[in-house]
Chains A and B, each alone.
Chain A
Amino acid sequence: MIRVVRSTVIDAPVAAVWEILRDFNGHDRWHPIVRRSMLEDSKRTDQVGCVRNFDLEDGANVRERLLSLSDSERRFRYSIVAADVPLRNYVAEVRLKPVTDGDRTFWHWSSTFNTPPGQERELAALVATEVYEAGFAAVRARVERPTGGNRRTWDAAAAAPAVRQGAGAAIEGTAIVIDRHGGAEELHPQPAEAPPPGPSQVRLRQTAVGVNYIDVYCRTGYFDLLDPPGVPGLEAAGVVVDVGANVGHLAPGQRVAYACPPLGAYASVRTMDAGLVIPLPDHIDDETAAAGLLKGVTAEFLLHRVHAVAPGETVLVYAPAGGVGRILCQWANRLGATVIGATSTDEKARVGRAAGAHHVIVPGERSLEEQVRDLTDGHGADVIYDAVGRDSFAHSVAALAVRGHLVSFGQASGDIGPQDISMLAGCSATLSRPNYVHYTDTPEKFGASADRLFDAVQRRIVTIEIGQRFALENAADAHRALEGRATTGSTVLIPGPIQDGQGEAES
């Protein structure tokens, strides 16, 4: 009899880790070697005795029975019923314990089993590293808090010297200016001033600026949003320096963020309308806000307002590894929907599954609509979030369930062009073409959306991953990385040290 034990400490509260692990059929959403898992006999995932039937990435099939489940002890045991791997009499236990010292989680994963003679060492190593340790790493990546070093906060004391410059003086800083449409080289830093705020305005020192693909379209002129010379950028976080008349919801020293037109976020200081600038709760750090507000608010209104996703619905998300797509998968999953991602590569499929897609399809020999029908017993998708546009539109319509809802919110592959709406009669479809501005153009709309996003971030329903940081001056490098598909997660620009030396430098 071989016994394998692995244990680790995860830097997240035990409830957050247990929420992931107690779902016996949910391992295909986080474990890198599990490609696809389903429960046999229509049993529930927390029904003791249920059998999960899953395929590994290498093609092997495994069936495992849930032997015991305890929410009070945060523990479950399971055994292998049948497997393409020669693990015999395999019984395993997963157990979590709270580490009260630091609000962390101790995770103990153990098993006993027999193997064919001569394979003991090899199979014990496989279980220990490929299953247990790889599982630890995957869950850790999902739930651990951002490290302290990533948090950039400003307090009132840091902002005070700027206020003392006097209400009438402009504050000097840096902005990234485009003099003409073109390549990344057109982005160049230039001294800029933030004038004192007028009525209903606020003046900010920005600490983190979000970079979105739409910024590239603005730079190249593909979108007619920036008339050179001008400053790109739609979202940033920072601290209030001072406010003009009629601004009641903001005060000097407060941490804030925004994600809205007009453009101009690529700057270290900015004076702008205060209406759509919102205070940040303590649990949302500046970089998370700058990196996630635009994408997160987009996901919020797509899932809650354009279509209110209900438990049991099937949701199809294109580009589940993309910025908005990842959040759509995470959130739709937690809303109780069955989430199907559609992407182009196995690597992106893996990211989509990690984000919460129950299934990820890679259209190829078999069309998207055929694969969606297969996964849904012919039902189709109740709602489809499609930002691909021209190349996907017809497939999306064909993959809809009866009375399904196609939400077209972008056109990465090109304009959809004129369409004959009678095609929607085939399944009594609803078609929406939402525009970000119309869901976010008042403080009430934007604030409600952001509140729901921040709550989801705090509850770890949605995670904002910052893949890379660039100094604001190096915005051109950030665009090159984005266009070269060399980025992962979100990208932020960090303004350099401020003039009075109170700021934090970022190299």
Chain B
Amino acid sequence: MARVYISSVIGAPADRIWQTVRDFNALPDWVPAVRESRIEGGQPSDQVGCVRAFRLEDGGFLRERLLALSDYDYSVTYAILESPMGVQNYIATLKLMPVTDGGRTFAEWTAEFDCDPAAEADLVANIGNGVFQAAFDALKVRFGS
């Protein structure tokens, strides 16, 4: 089981950042690598169980299912159903926690998955730095660091 953990501090209150990241269909608005996204079956994007189908800037296509969403915990958990990355049993959680000291937000993004052992190091680095940290960097640009 491979594990990715990336965390950062973003310079705005958690409730503001949550408005952006809670929308399961809004990846193109804030994750640089995502070009377009839609929710299958016309379901609302906060309906637990809904599936987002999205395309990356490099052409890659993914489908992910919303497993859990908590406005109380500022947390969203999802699983990959289909991807070009060569991962199995991929489950990820993005969670925000308020930093009371200064009205900032602690953001952490974890993922666990199975994969070919030879590809694990590259996958962990690409997901951690190329996706999660890049997304946090984009939030820091938008909201302050």
A, B from the same assembly: yes
The chain A residues found within 8 Å of chain B, CB to CB, are 5-9, 97-102, 104, 106, 108, 133, 136
The reply to whether A7 and B7 form a contact with Cβ atoms under 8 Å apart is: no
Give CA–CA (A106, B95) in the complex, Å.
Answer: 13
The reply to whether B101 and A7 form a contact with Cβ atoms under 8 Å apart is: yes
The reply to whether A99 and B100 form a contact with Cβ atoms under 8 Å apart is: no
Out of A5, A8, A106, A136, name the residue touching B7 (CB < 8 Å).
A106
Chain A residue contacts of B7, Cβ below 8 A: 97-101, 106
Out of A9, A98, A133, name the residue touching B99 (CB < 8 Å).
A9
The reply to whether A98 and B9 form a contact with Cβ atoms under 8 Å apart is: no
Assuming the A-B contacts A97-B108, A101-B133, are A5 and B5 also in contact, with contact meaning beta carbons closer than 8 angstroms in the complex?
Answer: no
Give CA–CA (A323, B57) in the complex, Å.
Answer: 59
Among residues of A, the one whose C-beta sits closest to the C-beta of B108 is A97
Given A7-B98, A99-B9, A106-B97, 7 extra CB contacts under 8 A: A5-B100, A9-B101, A98-B5, A99-B8, A100-B5, A101-B7, A136-B101
The size of the chain B interface, using a CB distance under 8 A, is: 17
The reply to whether B97 and A9 form a contact with Cβ atoms under 8 Å apart is: no
The reply to whether B100 and A7 form a contact with Cβ atoms under 8 Å apart is: yes
Report the minimum CB–CB distance from B32 to chain A (whole Å).
Answer: 16
Give CA–CA (A283, B100) in the complex, Å.
Answer: 32
Pairs of residues from A and B, 4 with the lowest C-beta to C-beta distance, nearest first: A101-B8, A8-B101, A106-B106, A6-B100
The reply to whether B100 and A106 form a contact with Cβ atoms under 8 Å apart is: no
Report the minimum CB–CB distance from B94 to chain A (whole Å).
Answer: 14
Give CA–CA (A99, B100) in the complex, Å.
Answer: 16
The reply to whether B8 and A7 form a contact with Cβ atoms under 8 Å apart is: no
The reply to whether B106 and A99 form a contact with Cβ atoms under 8 Å apart is: yes
Give CA–CA (A6, B99) in the complex, Å.
Answer: 7
Chain B residue contacts of A6, Cβ below 8 A: 100-101
Chain A residue contacts of B6, Cβ below 8 A: 100-101
Among residues of B, the one whose C-beta sits closest to the C-beta of A106 is B106
Report the minimum CB–CB distance from B101 to chain A (whole Å).
Answer: 4
Report the minimum CB–CB distance from A120 to chain B (whole Å).
Answer: 18
Among residues of B, the one whose C-beta sits closest to the C-beta of A101 is B8
Assuming the A-B contacts A99-B7, A100-B5, A100-B6, are A106 and B101 also in contact, with contact meaning beta carbons closer than 8 angstroms in the complex?
Answer: no
Report the minimum CB–CB distance from B106 to chain A (whole Å).
Answer: 4
11 residue pairs bridging A and B, Cβ less than 8 Å apart: A7-B97, A7-B98, A8-B102, A9-B9, A9-B104, A97-B106, A100-B133, A101-B6, A101-B8, A101-B133, A102-B8
Give CA–CA (A106, B97) in the complex, Å.
Answer: 10
Give CA–CA (A9, B7) in the complex, Å.
Answer: 12
Chain B 127-145 against A: per-residue CB contact (8 Å), 1 yes, 0 no? 0100001001000000000
Chain B residue contacts of A97, Cβ below 8 A: 7, 106, 108
Chain A residue contacts of B104, Cβ below 8 A: 9
Chain A residue contacts of B97, Cβ below 8 A: 7, 106, 108
The majority secondary structure among interface residues of chain B is strand
The reply to whether A7 and B106 form a contact with Cβ atoms under 8 Å apart is: yes
The reply to whether A101 and B136 form a contact with Cβ atoms under 8 Å apart is: yes
Chain B residue contacts of A101, Cβ below 8 A: 6-9, 133, 136
Give CA–CA (A7, B102) in the complex, Å.
Answer: 9
Assuming the A-B contacts A99-B106, A101-B133, are A8 and B99 also in contact, with contact meaning beta carbons closer than 8 angstroms in the complex?
Answer: yes
Assuming the A-B contacts A101-B133, A101-B136, A106-B99, are A9 and B106 also in contact, with contact meaning beta carbons closer than 8 angstroms in the complex?
Answer: yes
* CB-CB contacts below 8 Å: B105-128 with A: 106, 108, 128
Report the minimum CB–CB distance from A25 to chain B (whole Å).
Answer: 26
Among residues of A, the one whose C-beta sits closest to the C-beta of B140 is A101
Out of B8, B99, B101, B102, name the residue touching A100 (CB < 8 Å).
B8
Report the minimum CB–CB distance from A280 to chain B (whole Å).
Answer: 32
Chain A residue contacts of B9, Cβ below 8 A: 9, 99, 101-102, 104, 106
Report the minimum CB–CB distance from A426 to chain B (whole Å).
Answer: 54
Give CA–CA (A133, B98) in the complex, Å.
Answer: 15
Report the minimum CB–CB distance from A43 to chain B (whole Å).
Answer: 32
Chain A residue contacts of B99, Cβ below 8 A: 7-9, 106
Give CA–CA (A106, B14) in the complex, Å.
Answer: 14
Chain B residue contacts of A100, Cβ below 8 A: 5-8, 128, 133
Report the minimum CB–CB distance from B125 to chain A (whole Å).
Answer: 12
Interface centre among B7, B8, B102 (most CB of A within 10 A): B7
Chain A residue contacts of B101, Cβ below 8 A: 6-9, 133, 136
Report the minimum CB–CB distance from B134 to chain A (whole Å).
Answer: 11
Give CA–CA (A261, B132) in the complex, Å.
Answer: 55
Give CA–CA (A8, B108) in the complex, Å.
Answer: 15
Chain B residue contacts of A7, Cβ below 8 A: 97-101, 106
Report the minimum CB–CB distance from A273 to chain B (whole Å).
Answer: 49
Chain A residue contacts of B98, Cβ below 8 A: 5, 7
Chain B 8-47 against A: per-residue CB contact (8 Å), 1 yes, 0 no? 1100000000000000000000000000000000000000
Report the minimum CB–CB distance from B105 to chain A (whole Å).
Answer: 10
Report the minimum CB–CB distance from A389 to chain B (whole Å).
Answer: 45
Chain B residue contacts of A9, Cβ below 8 A: 9, 99, 101, 104, 106
Give CA–CA (A106, B106) in the complex, Å.
Answer: 7
Give CA–CA (A5, B133) in the complex, Å.
Answer: 27
Give CA–CA (A100, B8) in the complex, Å.
Answer: 6
Among residues of B, the one whose C-beta sits closest to the C-beta of A104 is B9
Interface centre among A7, A97, A102, A133 (most CB of B within 10 A): A7
Report the minimum CB–CB distance from A133 to chain B (whole Å).
Answer: 7
Give CA–CA (A169, B65) in the complex, Å.
Answer: 75
Report the minimum CB–CB distance from A216 to chain B (whole Å).
Answer: 41
Chain B residue contacts of A8, Cβ below 8 A: 99-102
Give CA–CA (A102, B7) in the complex, Å.
Answer: 9
Report the minimum CB–CB distance from A265 to chain B (whole Å).
Answer: 41
Report the minimum CB–CB distance from B131 to chain A (whole Å).
Answer: 14
Chain B residue contacts of A102, Cβ below 8 A: 8-9
Among residues of A, the one whose C-beta sits closest to the C-beta of B128 is A100
Chain A residue contacts of B108, Cβ below 8 A: 97
Report the minimum CB–CB distance from B126 to chain A (whole Å).
Answer: 15
